[in-house]
Structure 1
Amino acid sequence: MPLAKDLLHPTPEEEKRRHKKKRLVQSPNSYFMDVKCPGCYKITTVFSHAQTVVLCVGCSTVLCQPTQGRQFLACAKITC
């Protein structure tokens, strides 16, 4: 009797929904991102799951605020 789905080749959507340790290849849910300040255009590296408010180094405006698990960007641009 064949299986209803392929266990060796899961879809990317299924992998994203799984727990980080139960994926086929373990990978974290968190990441770092570069955020550019809209006022002084300085780039600040921010952790995606940071638990504190992130301020700009140059003009001390609020770049990110913590929410339920992930950072909320406040009027800032993400640069890659």
Structure 2
Amino acid sequence: MADDVQNGEGDIIINLELISYISSSGIRIFVGMVRELDKQGRKLKLCCITPPVKKVFDVVELLDLFEVFETEQEAVNSLSK
């Protein structure tokens, strides 16, 4: 994943559908990714966030940092806009 952030092109979509828990380390990884991508004029898009993970993002007030989509298809469709 780090190579995709540092050497890739375009936005990155991460589907969180199978993730039921996220630690503070996981949050730091997402924040680091969004900051690095922002420097490159790119976006990190999240989709299919499960309720427990969404709650963590809400508690630490980070949802505004990301583009969040209900479905993966909505995230993919946003790439062409």
Same fold (TM over 0.5): no
For the superposition of Structure 1 and Structure 2, which TM-score range results when normalised by the shorter chain? under 0.3
Of Structure 1 and Structure 2, the greater helix share is in 2
Greater C-alpha Rg = 1
Structure with larger RCO (C-alpha < 8 A, sep 6+): 2
Of Structure 1 and Structure 2, the greater strand share is in 1
